[in-house]
Amino acid sequence: MGIQYNGTKRMFKLDTAGTTYIIGVTEEGYVGHVYYGKRLRQFGGGYLMRTQEAPFTPSVNQREKNSFLDFFPMEYPTGGIGDYRESCLDVRNSAGSMASEIFYESHSIEDGKPALEGLPASFGKADEVQTLRIVCKDPVLGLQVILLYSVFEKEDVITRSVLVENTGEEHLRLEKVYSACLDMENREFEMVNLCGSWARERHIKRAGVRPGKQLVSSVKGESSHQEHPFLALVTPETTQETGEVYGMHFVYSGNFIAQAELTHFGYVRMVMGIHGDEFSWRLAPGEHFQAPEAVLTYSGSGLGKMSRSLHDFYREHLIRSPYKYKKRPVLINNWEATYFEFNTEKLLDIAREAKKNGIEMLVMDDGWFGKRNWDDNSLGDWTVNEEKLTTGLPDLVRQVRGLGMEFGIWFEPEMVSPDSKLYRAHPDWAVQIAGRTPGQSRAQYVLDISRKEVRDYIYECVAKILRSAPISYVKWDMNRQLSDIGSACLPADAQGELFHRYVLGLYEMQERLVTDFPGLLLENCSGGGARFDPGMLYYSPQIWCSDDTDAIERLRIQEGTALIYPLSTMGAHVSDCPNHIVERNTPFETRGNVALAGTFGYELDITKISEEDRAQIAGQVEQYHRYHGLIQTGDYYRIASWTDRKPYDCWEVAAKDMSEALVTFVQVLGQPNMHSVNIRIRGLDGGAGYRLEGTSEVYTGEELMECGFIVRDVKGDFRSKLYHFMRE
């Protein structure tokens, strides 16, 4: 399969369908990075490690060992020994010194892929993936470091993770454990990342890599609205279809760092892992620490190829839900319809009207529990407010299901309100520093889910509600970041473990949830898109993309998200106008067309919208059913971007068998004295004919891809159009 070892040359060659990754081992046992790029049929040697030139290896020139360490392209660099670039592993011994130096000891190659203890991770069958384990050892510390590489040949993806084991006799402290490193010669790389804030998450940013360190990171206890655990290095002039791309993505939902460092020798060191700030981990003799997984992919054909590789990989090897390829119900959520002002009859009014228009699920959002009439109380008190739901939750669910609809519900299990029965009974359950009043955000504290008794309480609250009625869907929300980092149950020398233990606790709870309720459709959310990351996809097949549902603002958000995630993972709804966040008015048709590029649903009071808008819903729902299979499984192509100063936005989904393609065109701003727009379709069979749905027009695939298609019937601001091409 994809991994070969040449014992004579001491080199590993990892091949996917289109890429090759090469690792070399020096005479001393340093593990070096040799090559990552276009697939090579053969490779002669490790000359790219440059060990045959000054300062040479330490066995040849011990007097210049530090010069060697500061230049050698390390596969997994360690700190404190003379490599002054960013380290991936920092270890402090019992005497207080920080240094580690690891050397190759052995390796093994196996079919399949091991799970990672307590962590979300990719998976695959024995004929789909092969795993290389390189065992390294620090002989002074008695520390074993196992570098794990899994090769997913079909998807052009290699995953990396690290297992650190204390096989010595002294107590150690890990102060940094990253998951992956790439040392490469700089080719005038530019850095692509995703950033933003609440209501404008994951905007694509691109800038040249300059000397020094450039990074994206989060220390908020979540992957965050502001940054994203993704980084790509691209060669100059890279487009959707041309140029080289090195992408790295972190399968983790907490603090992270993704960094590119341009050194004085013209090398770029690209690293990814758990952020070292406020992280430390006790490692007693016999104990181990498992780092999360990083996903690597290389594209020699631009950003579009990277996107499609990652989409295929996440669909096939990370998302486990039975809803991965199942048609998901079109839902209507009452949040922007009612906020906290609802009761049983109001929800049923919405459900009855929604059912008439083909909507298939009612989701009851925040405000159904405790005395929750505003957002300043009752989190943690997960009992039904029967002043609102006067006949109880089971009866409401029974009535909704009696209409022929499914029922969903909102929780925010990780949080507690100071004004709650739970907090009054257990104030020590909140994350806080002794002697300090913890800071509130949205009038709430964070529960310390590193503690088993807290996790068990939360889980039982959620499970009890789900056992009380046939509930099909859960929206799991988290509306604030972590602060005041302290745990009442961790000793003083372990407080640096809290951030990571929190994330492990979250994963444990969601694993229990999807195991105990295997048919549940789970959607994760964090104030919108603050925890939209690969770690959460392991538990939920979709994540709420952003609290901003404005169709025009969503163009940027969804473009950035679709750069690395399948469209089927993006929670997207049609909402009312003026939009509740930006106060913009957009046509109902455009709102529907933009939401179609995600999970598709509604977030409005269907009983109050105009007859003109309501009349379009049945057609939009029918459109979703017609195209959902294509959108879930097809290849994504970005044709044009409004962020590139164009007056329009355009994307396409093409069937993998090239039988059909759906193109979405959004004219953001109309322009005076301009002609029609020519767009070039992708992913078609050049020799086949394609009929444009709703017309008698037939084009050859070659014409559409090479000559283009003329868009001439979209007039005005914020207008949109779908074009569906079907092979004859």
Question: What are the residue numbers of the active site?
Answer: 477, 547
Cα angle vertex 524, ends 518, 529, to 5°?
160
Amino acid at 353: E
Strand partners, 544: 571
- At 146, give phi and psi (nearest 5°): -105, 115
Give dist(CA 505, CA 497) in Å, integer.
12
Give dist(CA 314, CA 296) in Å, integer.
12
Place of tokens 């298939």: 360
3-state secondary structure 670-722: CCCCCCCEEECCCCCCCCCEEEECCCCCEEEHHHHHHHCEEECCCCCCCEEEE
**β-pairing verdict for 473-476 and 406-411:** parallel
> Can the peptide bond before residue 578 be classed as cis, meaning omega within 30 degrees of 0?
yes
Among 121, 99, 230, 233, smallest CA distance to 176 is for 99
Place of tokens 């406020």: 278
Q: Which helix (H) or strand (E) holds 633?
A: helix 611-633
Number of alpha carbons in the 13 Å side-chain half-sphere of residue 673: 0
- For residue 680, give Cα distances in angstroms to 73, 523, 596, 708: 41, 35, 21, 4
Hey, what are 12's tokens?
């590993």
Amino acid at 682: R
Place of tokens 């039975």: 322
- For residue 328, give Cα distances in angstroms to 173, 433, 628: 46, 43, 9
Give dist(CA 638, CA 567) in Å, integer.
12
Burial of 22 per CB tally in 10 Å (0-12, 13-18, 19+): buried
- For residue 305, give Cα distances in angstroms to 17, 206, 280, 301, 310: 13, 18, 38, 6, 9
| 438 Cβ contact partners less than 8 Å away, ≥ 6 residues apart | 430, 431, 432, 445, 483, 484
Give dist(CA 47, CA 34) in Å, integer.
8
Give dist(CA 452, CA 455) in Å, integer.
5
